[in-house]
Structure 1
Amino acid sequence: MNAQQLLPEPDDRADVEGRIAVVGMAGRFPKADSVDALWELLAAGTEAVSRFSAEELRTDGVAESEYTHPRYVPAKGVLDDVAGFDSTLFGYGALEASVIDPQQRVFLETAWAALEDAGCDPDRAAGPIGVYAGSLLSTYLIHNLLPRTDLREKLGVPLLFQGNQPDQLAARAAYKLNLRGPAVSVQTACSTSLVAVHLAVQSLLSQECDMALAGGVTVTVPHRSGYLPVEGGIESADGHCKPYGANAAGTVFGNGAGVVVLKRLADALADGDRVHAVILGSAVNNDGADKAGYTAPSVSGQSAVIREALSVADVAPRSIGYVEGHGTATPIGDPIEVEALTAAYRAADDRPDAAPGAWCGLGSVKSNLGHLDTAAGITGFIKAVQALRHGRIPASLHVDAAEPGVGLSGSPFFVPTDLTDWPVTDGPRRAAVSAFGIGGTNAHVILEQAPATADAPAGASPAGAPADVPVALPLSARTSTALDSVAGRLADHLAAHPELALADVARTLRDGRRRL
């Protein structure tokens, strides 16, 4: 594709100034091992929270005294093959890899996949690449490593801690992926990965780096496990997460990872990159002391961060067709979130005299996957990007349209209960994403669908390109086994997308993949 065709006209320079392109995405989620598989799961309205038998719980190390309790809920969103790791690809020996937190292993692989989706080889990148990301406290260290006296004696406790400290996540990725920009591990509880997106955006706008990875990961062990809900707690007694529903009664936790690759929009267009979506603006704040307690949410804090993001993006609330909310389905959290959203949207409404009624969809990916904690914000962000790309808004599960949740009646928001078409009408599709962390760190991001010329599938051929010309497809891997796997995945992808031009695919394989 001719990059000159993608450059905006001089009169449109304001349309790219201060805007950030999403040029790569990757993720692993419960029952979905990629961002495309996630979209298929969401579009189908599938719940991906797993239920476990007593045998599965016992095998994974859950104590019998726990899973036999009458109120124990054997439910969690889990990943496939959480123990698997391509240690050879990243230059680790078997023993060293085995004592690294699975969160950090999964994040490395996901970041690698996101860079490949962006067509970026860091070794040949012209400018610095940053990384902003976060993970949970390592339960692997607590349950699997520290009890092992043989490992403590052989490797020493400092090495065990080094492979499992959350503050090493970004630095490890920078080292293994050769990223020379800022490497910052973020820790703001369940808003972590959306805060990471905001920080990456700010780093790009201040010219600290020319590309940035942002995301988060949560992997807790025992992997197959449930929980014992307590009276007045935040966990669901029936193992379902029902955000914004009248019967919302708690959340369900799960494991997952997501990474996006960001770039200044002007640079992405000039380089001919595929753009998944555009970030128009973002904001982060904290509730301060204006709330009932440390773990309680705040209407004023959440409303303020939403208003600030709208102001930075310089868009009217009525131009936003969908909000991917925090939506933990707790009886206190959801009504406060809806009240804060409503207050922010009413205050910024450019058409206050318009007919009342709901115009904006509101949903939460937690209804499908459960609460992925430090990976929750980036998962909601990826869902919103996919909705913009596909022009459809997925259903939010476990909600009765005839019985809206607390605060929704008379608000600008409705909860879609079916997969809904999202046509382009008066302007480009726009979405917003919220994440609110325990402790009060709030994040809100405003997204817009990609410019039409920048949203073509990677490898798509421009009109008039020659067809049926023999093309060599260069592949590279660390081992012969990995090479066979790469070749198989490429063959499957080409079979699924016969419209791709092989010359463009070859160029991406040559220039956008690391030479191994």
Structure 2
Amino acid sequence: MWIVNKSTERNYLRTIQKASEKIKQLRAEVGALKVKEPVAVIGMGCRFPGNGVDPDSFWRLLEERGDAVGRVPPERWSVEAYYDPHGKTPGTAYTMNGGFLDEVDGFDCGFFGISAGEAAALDPQQRLLLEVSWETLEHAGIDPDRLKGTRTGVFLGMCGSDYHQAHLGSGDPERIDEHSVTGVALSTAAGRLSYFYDFHGPSVVMDSACSSSLLALHHAVRSLREGETEIALAGGVHLILTPEPYIGFSRLGALSPSGKCRAFDASADGYVRGEGCGLVLLKRLSDARRDGDKILALIRGSAVNQDGQSNGLTAPNAPAQKDVIERALADAGLAPGAVDYVEAHGTGTSLGDPIEARALAMVFGKRRPLPVGSVKTNIGHLEAAAGMASLIKVILSMGRGRIPGSLHFKNPNPHIPWEEIPLSVVTENTPWPRERGERVAGISAFGFSGTNVHMVVSGPPEEPARTPDRTPDRTPDPTLDRALDRALEKIPERPLHILTLSAREDLALAKLARSYADLLLRDDGVSPADVCHSANTGRHRFSHCTFVVGDTRETLGHSLLKLSEKPPSLPEALERERGACPEVVFLYPGHDRWNAGMGAELYTAHPVFRDAVDRCGGNRGSGTESCLSQISDRLCRQINPQPRNGDLRQIGIVRSGVACTGLFRRPCTVFLRRGGREGRSRLLFRLICGRLRIGNEPRCHFEGRIVPKVFELRVALDEFSPPALVEPPLVEFEG
């Protein structure tokens, strides 16, 4: 019997109490860290003026210092009916310039399961969100089907209701049908995305005018940090569809009569309207690292506040701007000196620019010149989507290590005391070095409602260098390790690349092939392995599919060009019947067909194959079996001569066969060629088919079924002609 006296009992209780308090403290610390955890941007999509149909084309516009501002497209409305250059005639505007998209009425409604009748009642802003959201997920390398039923949130900024006015407010009640209300309501813009993708996280639309999209991003970051959301889709959209807002802003005197945004310049005379859509896909940094996502940038901190009572409802407030920037830096845990660049709100108004400059000076001090710029000089002020244009510009600049120059800055605004305020407007494409180990930027968006938002963003984190993999649980051998390293240096990562594409129809497939060809042939810095991996694993699979094989980006690109230039019915494309799948046959060599170099390139190039080989290690004992295990570890690595020992030869073929099955996964038929020892060959066959759980085999250990389901099992113990059995299911893929 164990007897505990009261003194010992009290000591135990005190120890337990201290442990409990320590656990509470550690939990609180972990919670605080999560609340401050950076949020990773893992994908983005956009439609911006100047043919900015994706991030790459938007970057080309910025790098070439393009000006996408022009006259309102004639298909929107009659300019003559609403334009008065003097602005004196009621019902007219003194400018009709803006940053416009090339096309806002095109929409593949069938792709999104929407009927033509419903699509006609659907606000083009909602149509644009559907298209850009799909592209954002593809940019992140995520098949939308993988997010079904997850706590993925949608956070949107919107303030335009032009289509609502043109449709419900047309004065013709007969135009109103069962789709009209849901088609134009701002709330359903987010709800429609959640419905289409089957997202189960928060789904909200926010309106704070010009700061709407950054406000949505701010709340998306908060939702992720608090654990409310696993993944977040955040951004904004704005389209200019009717002339009435031009008239109202002209009466307010807010628009630029010259039709140019001249941020911080002496000739700044007002803002220029613009339209577009920008979305980003977000994850907590720890989750993005866990999932192996490509991290484009980090949201380090954010803050939102209000002007309160200032000089007027729409007048900016310098102390409020200073406060929101300081609080965003505090949220990021960074000092003002860590910021390299500020993407300013920079609307080009004679009042707003000097106030913003003073607020920046109050935060960042007078110790150094602070580079500032404004994307509004390139594409206009996208209003609800303006913050997304700024964010995507900054992310692209960080990734490429240079800041694009802003336009139309010639003479500094005399209302800004430049000698006291160390701001430097970036007018030429400027290198962005990593002087402090990382690139950090601030992004501002100030709504005319008085709601201010500031974001602190940094470039992607430096990933630790990876050391060469070593077979676990073995005795280190410097001689063999050096030989392994030399072998790995000689073997290319992947000698050939396969790029698969799919679409709902042949025309779309040809267009997709052309876009991939342009990417591969245009950018000599692009990695063919990365492009193929993203296309093969990060896109949804549609019924019309094709593929090309090549060893370089040029080979792949030219093959794709040939596909895109052929008639709509692509002979290389395979149209799959719903539910149908081509049969796949596994043909395994016999005992006498194996050699020491078999599988070496697969081992270095394919993690799944490598993992399966490593999991098939021999018993980790001593003496002969330990030696056999170490030698067999290298039979697939092309560094040993052909073994004379038949047992070692069989270890190699069994491990290669198991690993290949793990790589290709689901056969319809399994064939094994006879050769050498029939008993050993049958052992491999039984292992491959999941018939045998090897646990006591002295030189080969593998747990679990490799092939989940084998539809038909055949053993060919006699020689046969492989082409007759293997080629028929694969012939459709030739070319």
TM-score by length of 2: 0.61
Where does 1:259-274 land on structure 2 (aligned, <5 Å)?
259-274=279-294
Q: Equivalent residue for 2:162?
A: 139
Query: 1:306, 1:228 → 2: CA distance?
Result: 31
Identity, in percent, stands at 40
Q: Equivalent residue for 2:103?
A: 81
Q: Does 1:511 align with 2:537?
A: yes
Say if 1:404 and 1:33 are closer, same or farther in 2 by CA, change over 3 A: farther
CA contact (8 A) 1:284 1:305 kept: yes
Q: Of the candidates 398, 407, 418, which is equivalent to residue 388 of structure 1?
A: 398
Where structure 1 has 5 or more consecutive residues not aligned to the other structure, the ranges are 1-13, 347-355, 455-461
How far residue 397 of structure 1 moved from its aligned partner, in angstroms, is: 1.3
Q: Equivalent residue for 2:426?
A: 416
Query: 1:382, 1:405 → 2: CA distance?
Result: 30
Q: Which amino acid aligns with 1:185?
A: V
Q: Does 1:67 align with 2:83?
A: yes
Q: Equivalent residue for 2:646?
A: none
Q: Equivalent residue for 1:296?
A: 315
CA contact (8 A) 2:132 2:279 kept: yes
Q: Equivalent residue for 1:488?
A: 514
CA contact (8 A) 1:89 1:478 kept: yes
CA contact (8 A) 2:82 2:243 kept: no
Q: Of the candidates 125, 148, 153, which is equivalent to residue 130 of structure 1?
A: 153
Where does 1:16-415 land on structure 2 (aligned, <5 Å)?
18-31=37-50, 32-51=52-71, 57=74, 59-62=75-78, 64-67=80-83, 69-71=85-87, 72-125=94-147, 127-144=150-167, 146-147=169-170, 149=172, 152-153=173-174, 155-156=176-177, 159-222=179-242, 230=250, 233-289=253-309, 291-346=310-365, 356=366, 358-400=368-410, 406-415=416-425
Say if 1:318 and 1:475 are closer, same or farther in 2 by CA, change over 3 A: same
How far residue 250 of structure 1 moved from its aligned partner, in angstroms, is: 0.4
CA contact (8 A) 2:159 2:208 kept: no
Query: 2:80, 2:55 → 1: CA distance?
Result: 36
Say if 1:173 and 1:223 are closer, same or farther in 2 by CA, change over 3 A: farther
CA contact (8 A) 1:16 1:265 kept: no
How far residue 223 of structure 1 moved from its aligned partner, in angstroms, is: 8.5
Q: Which amino acid aligns with 1:432?
A: G
Say if 1:470 and 1:305 are closer, same or farther in 2 by CA, change over 3 A: closer
Q: Which amino acid aligns with 2:355?
A: I
Say if 1:496 and 1:287 are closer, same or farther in 2 by CA, change over 3 A: same
Query: 2:169, 2:444 → 1: CA distance?
Result: 36
Query: 1:514, 1:259 → 2: CA distance?
Result: 19
Query: 1:512, 1:206 → 2: CA distance?
Result: 27
CA contact (8 A) 1:229 1:237 kept: no
CA RMSD, 1 decimal: 2.8
Deviation per residue, 1:206-262 (Å, 9 max, x gap): 111121111001111148997687476111111111111122110010111100111
Say if 1:154 and 1:39 are closer, same or farther in 2 by CA, change over 3 A: closer
Say if 1:504 and 1:404 are closer, same or farther in 2 by CA, change over 3 A: same
CA contact (8 A) 2:274 2:382 kept: yes
SS of 1:476 mapped into structure 2: strand
Deviation per residue, 1:456-513 (Å, 9 max, x gap): xxxxxx9965333353x33332233222222222233233356666565444334322
Query: 1:498, 1:357 → 2: CA distance?
Result: 40
CA contact (8 A) 1:284 1:443 kept: yes
How far residue 202 of structure 1 moved from its aligned partner, in angstroms, is: 0.6
Deviation per residue, 1:315-336 (Å, 9 max, x gap): 1212211100111111111111
Say if 1:404 and 1:109 are closer, same or farther in 2 by CA, change over 3 A: farther
Query: 1:285, 1:74 → 2: CA distance?
Result: 33
Query: 2:412, 2:530 → 1: CA distance?
Result: 50
Judging by fraction of residues, say which structure has more helix. Answer: 2
Query: 1:300, 1:498 → 2: CA distance?
Result: 47
Deviates more, 1:215-224 or 1:237-246: 215-224
Query: 2:254, 2:398 → 1: CA distance?
Result: 31
Deviation per residue, 1:45-97 (Å, 9 max, x gap): 22110135xxx64x532263423555532311100111111211111111211
How far residue 112 of structure 1 moved from its aligned partner, in angstroms, is: 0.9
Where structure 2 has 5 or more consecutive residues not aligned to the other structure, the ranges are 1-32, 88-93, 465-487, 543-735
Q: Which amino acid aligns with 2:77?
A: G
Q: Which amino acid aligns with 1:297?
A: P
Query: 1:223, 1:389 → 2: CA distance?
Result: 38
Q: Which amino acid aligns with 1:467?
A: R
Query: 1:154, 1:239 → 2: CA distance?
Result: 35
Q: Which amino acid aligns with 2:97?
A: A
Say if 1:409 and 1:159 are closer, same or farther in 2 by CA, change over 3 A: farther
Q: Equivalent residue for 2:712?
A: none
How far residue 155 of structure 1 moved from its aligned partner, in angstroms, is: 4.8
Deviates more, 1:186-195 or 1:229-238: 229-238
Say if 1:223 and 1:424 are closer, same or farther in 2 by CA, change over 3 A: farther
How far residue 442 of structure 1 moved from its aligned partner, in angstroms, is: 0.8
How far residue 436 of structure 1 moved from its aligned partner, in angstroms, is: 0.7
Query: 2:251, 2:240 → 1: CA distance?
Result: 23
CA contact (8 A) 1:128 1:211 kept: yes
How far residue 438 of structure 1 moved from its aligned partner, in angstroms, is: 1.5
How far residue 22 of structure 1 moved from its aligned partner, in angstroms, is: 0.8
Q: Which amino acid aligns with 1:133?
A: L
SS of 2:386 mapped into structure 1: helix
Query: 1:96, 1:484 → 2: CA distance?
Result: 28
SS of 1:344 mapped into structure 2: helix
Query: 1:451, 1:465 → 2: CA distance?
Result: 27
Say if 1:396 and 1:115 are closer, same or farther in 2 by CA, change over 3 A: same
Say if 1:119 and 1:333 are closer, same or farther in 2 by CA, change over 3 A: same
How far residue 412 of structure 1 moved from its aligned partner, in angstroms, is: 3.2
SS of 2:502 mapped into structure 1: coil
Query: 2:291, 2:492 → 1: CA distance?
Result: 19
Query: 1:46, 1:133 → 2: CA distance?
Result: 28
Q: Which amino acid aligns with 1:302?
A: Q
Deviates more, 1:134-143 or 1:388-397: 134-143
Query: 1:232, 1:508 → 2: CA distance?
Result: 48
Query: 1:470, 1:239 → 2: CA distance?
Result: 49
CA contact (8 A) 1:245 1:399 kept: yes
How far residue 154 of structure 1 moved from its aligned partner, in angstroms, is: 6.3
TM-score by length of 1: 0.86
Say if 1:105 and 1:425 are closer, same or farther in 2 by CA, change over 3 A: same
Deviates more, 1:329-338 or 1:257-266: 329-338
SS of 1:283 mapped into structure 2: strand
Which gives a bigger RCO, structure 1 or 2 (Cα 8 Å, sep 6+)? 1
Query: 1:235, 1:503 → 2: CA distance?
Result: 48
Deviation per residue, 1:327-365 (Å, 9 max, x gap): 11111111111122221223xxxxxxxxx4542111111
Say if 1:358 and 1:223 are closer, same or farther in 2 by CA, change over 3 A: farther
Query: 1:441, 1:68 → 2: CA distance?
Result: 32
